[in-house]
């Protein structure tokens, strides 16, 4: 019986190998039992969902050899979003789906996406990230010590507040607006006459509820998932002043520890997850009738959708910020982005 069982098992293994499939899903000895994936927002948000999709695809396609666990709230760096990139490089974090904003202190080129009013529409974003500019930025990230695999998207950041409708720069005068820890954001909102207040996302919601800050800027999908209308954010202005692409990355030592076959699986899973995540992120805002706006209105939110002429007034008011930051980001890189946007297919 034992011999027959052995022969049967051997035959089954041989069949699997003949099909090009592993006889078992046992991971090589140097693989970790769990890989830690850092993300700012949880799976209720498109950002976190994209990370979950990546982890699930990798687990499924490697038959569990690579097991990824999500750590939302950037909990691996005590919620300090701006420390995430350094922690990936150092190996504290194995993988991440991170924001260009949060990583811009370590990679100056990523400030490109925070330049005020550079990206007029989704076609402009796609032309930049999926073209030569996106490739150049990936080379820069690689040189900075982290391996980038795919571009995702958190979306266009719109502004909400508890005070009044915002339709012109003067409406922002003296208003306390929560922003992330980026000097470019501080410059932009200062130029508009606001009082930018830097704080983590974890601290932002209680601050809005208590009135410690008047407003915030985030994609509509984040506003909806976080139910910001329940913390006094009753006025929303769609101004599309910047888009926040996300980047799927892996620590280089972790990457080197995987077999070439598993590396290929992880990369393709990142590309597939990112594509799905972008679609989720844009849902409700990319359509002509913007269904999410209707949902906002139904919640009692006053939505102001700026016309191109109104948007230009804000762009003109922040032109000095654009001019100041262009050489810091890289004049050639910004020029390339401007050309890609001008030549985009709409």
Same fold, 30-154+244-282 and 158-242+287-342: yes
Phi first, then psi, for residue 175 (nearest 5°) are -75, 130
Are the C-beta atoms of residues 281 and 221 closer than 8 Å to each other?
Answer: yes
What are phi and psi for residue 282, nearest 5 degrees? Answer: -85, -15
Instruction: Give residue limits of the domains in the chain.
Output: 30-154+244-282, 158-242+287-342
Question: In what order do the strands lie in the sheet containing 146-156?
Answer: 68-71, 35-38, 95-99, 243-251, 146-156
Assign a CATH topology to domain 30-154+244-282.
D-Maltodextrin-Binding Protein; domain 2 (3.40.190)
pTM of the model: 0.89
Averaged in consecutive runs of 10 residues, what is the pLDDT profile of the chain (346 residues)? Answer: 44 44 68 96 95 98 97 89 92 96 94 97 97 98 98 97 97 95 93 94 91 96 92 96 97 98 98 98 92 93 96 97 97 98 90
* Three-state SS at 98: strand
Q: How many CB atoms lie within 10 A of CB 236?
A: 26
CB-CB contact of 190 with 317 (8 Å): no
For residues 37, 39, 43 and 48, what is the CA-based torsion angle, rounded to 10 degrees? -100
**DSSP β-bridge partners for residue 144:** none
Strands 146-156 and 158-161 turn out to be: unpaired
What does the alpha-carbon distance between residue 236 and residue 293 come to, in Å, rounded to a whole number? 10
Distance CA 175, CA 161 (A): 9
- The Cα 308–Cα 318 span in angstroms is 15
The pLDDT tens digits of the residues spanning 187-212 come to: 999 999 999 999 888 889 899 999 99
pLDDT value of residue 14: 44
Phi, psi of 139 (to 5 degrees): -65, -40
Give tens-digit pLDDT for 212-230: 999 999 999 999 989 999 9
Rounded distance between C-alpha atoms, residue 51 and residue 72, angstroms? 10
Architecture of domain 158-242+287-342: 3-Layer(aba) Sandwich (3.40)
């Amino acid at each position: 019986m034992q011999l027959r069982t052995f022969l049967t098992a051997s035959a089954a293994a041989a069949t699997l190998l003949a099909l090009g499939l592993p006889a078992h899903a046992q991971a090589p000895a140097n693989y970790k039992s769990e890989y830690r994936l850092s993300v700012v927002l949880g799976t209720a948000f498109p950002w976190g969902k994209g990370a979950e999709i990546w982890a699930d695809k990798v687990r499924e396609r490697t038959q569990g050899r690579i097991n990824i666990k999500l750590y939302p709230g950037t909990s691996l760096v005590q919620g300090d979003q701006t420390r995430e990139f350094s922690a990936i490089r150092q190996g504290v974090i194995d993988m991440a789906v991170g924001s260009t904003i949060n990583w811009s202190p370590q990679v100056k080129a990523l400030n490109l996406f925070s330049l005020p009013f550079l990206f007029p529409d989704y076609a402009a974003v796609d032309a930049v990230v999926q073209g030569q500019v996106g490739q150049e930025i990936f080379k820069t990230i690689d040189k900075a010590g982290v391996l980038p695999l795919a571009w995702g998207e958190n979306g266009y950041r719109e502004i909400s507040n508890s005070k009044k409708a915002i339709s012109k720069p003067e409406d922002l005068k003296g208003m306390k607006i929560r922003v992330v820890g980026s000097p470019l954001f501080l410059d932009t909102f200062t130029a508009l006459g606001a009082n930018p207040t830097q704080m983590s996302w974890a601290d932002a919601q209680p601050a809005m509820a208590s009135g410690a800050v008047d407003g915030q800027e985030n994609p509509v999908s984040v506003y909806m998932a976080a139910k910001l209308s329940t913390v006094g954010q009753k006025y929303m202005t769609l101004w599309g002043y910047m888009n926040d692409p996300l980047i799927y990355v892996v620590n280089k030592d972790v990457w080197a520890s995987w077999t070439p076959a598993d590396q290929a699986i992880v990369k393709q899973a990142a590309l597939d997850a990112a594509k799905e995540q972008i679609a989720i992120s844009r849902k409700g805002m990319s359509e002509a009738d913007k269904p999410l706006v209707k949902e906002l209105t139904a919640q009692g939110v006053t939505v102001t959708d700026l016309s191109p002429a109104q948007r230009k007034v804000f762009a003109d008011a922040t032109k000095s910020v654009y001019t100041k930051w262009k050489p810091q980001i890289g004049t050639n890189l910004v020029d390339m982005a401007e050309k890609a946007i001008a030549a985009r297919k709409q």
